[in-house]
Amino acid sequence: MYAGMNAEKVASTANGRNRRIDLRSDTVTQPTEAMREAMARAEVGDDVYGEDYTVRALEEKVAALMGKEAAVYVSSGTQSNLLGVLSHCQRGEEYLIGDVYHVFKSEALGTSVLGGVACYPMKTDAGGGLDPAQVKAGIKPDDPHSPITRLLCLENTVSGRVQDQDRIEALAETAHAAGLMVHLDGARLMNAVVKTGKPATELVRSIDTVSLCLSKGLGAPVGSVLSGPKDFIKRARRMRKMLGGGMRQAGVIAAAGLHALDHHVERLAEDHVNARRLAEGLAAIPGLTVDLDDVDTNMLFIRPQPDDIDPLRAHLAERGIVLSGQRPKIRVVTHLDVTEQDVDRVLEAVAEFYRGR
């Protein structure tokens, strides 16, 4: 069931005790006043002509943050990953990927539909990781019967879990030794940066190209940035234009991304603390199962009894709390618009539900 459903049924008064608390995703955040001001003040130009200096500043900032030569600003994480894969692979070639990763599961397989590129999903372990031996075995021989394996696609974080850095290095080494490139869907890479205390440059050192989302935990209303070598980014820019993703005075939205990188990175730690406290509080409520081991950054997963799911969602909706419609495991996400007090409100509302069962 789609996570976005039924949001309109949720009681929502703008402020105060009944302020709406949306736990479906970190994509639901509202731009802050300071972010809106930065957007209003942004210097803009025609970015297709390369004349939007706010977009350029954002691209240069992210390229430096990732330690890559260049970057391109795009409309979404999906577009960023699509450009990433299609700028690496030609028709009839394939990429290897974890079977729970967003590019494989949740991007309408645009890489195959639009690019004629095949994907070869491999089972990830409980932490969302792949094994170098799996990758080695997945690479096809140079034989006319087989697709040409061109790329390894990784993800970090995976369902909120930070990936083991030694494993990432080993996976990249295996891929590179076989002549593959490595792309990372780093939609929430900055959560991993804050959690590990390691700079992004270190986390993506062995990765060739990386997609970073500005509209998840970082709180911008729109936008992602794809970083990599200069020639790769040149191809991605052409591909972005082809897909209709060349934007004009995009500095208005890029300014939100710059603001997010300047002001919303360190604060991700608050989301991590809130997620942990929420998980522990929920785990203590009889009747509800919470996978505490899975709580690494800003996500947790709860498993109510199947018959409890709809009544629980309705009970919370009446109190202005939005829970996703997934089942049997429901993802709960903390973000910029979930405060410490909101965590208390959610815990109280869930406890009230189970007291009445």
CB of 84 to ligand PLP, least distance (A): 11
CB of 97 to ligand PLP, least distance (A): 12
Give the residue carrying structure tokens 């690494």: 296
- Residue 321 three-state SS: strand
Nearer to ligand PLP, 102 or 319 (CB): 102
* DSSP 8-state symbol, 287: T
CB of 131 to ligand PLP, least distance (A): 20
Do residues 159 and 61 make contact, with C-beta atoms less than 8 angstroms apart? Answer: no
Contact residues for ligand PLP (CB under 6 A)?
A: 27, 76-78, 102, 155, 185, 187, 213, 215, 224
* Amino acid identity at 91: R
CB of 188 to ligand PLP, least distance (A): 6
Nearer to ligand PLP, 115 or 320 (CB): 115
* Amino acid identity at 53: Y
Residue nearest to ligand PLP (CB): 77
**Six-digit token pair at 119?**
């994907």
Question: Count of CB atoms within 10 A of residue 157's CB?
Answer: 23
* DSSP 8-state symbol, 69: S
Alpha-carbon torsion (81, 247, 223, 42), positive or negative: positive
Nearer to ligand PLP, 215 or 297 (CB): 215
* Amino acid identity at 197: G
Nearer to ligand PLP, 98 or 320 (CB): 98
Nearer to ligand PLP, 139 or 214 (CB): 214
CA-CA distance, 275 to 297, in Å (whole number)? 7
Secondary structure of the chain: what % helix, strand, coil (to 5)? 45, 15, 35
Burial of 134 (0-12, 13-18, 19+ CB in 10 A): middle
CB of 56 to ligand PLP, least distance (A): 21
Nearer to ligand PLP, 76 or 124 (CB): 76
CB of 76 to ligand PLP, least distance (A): 3
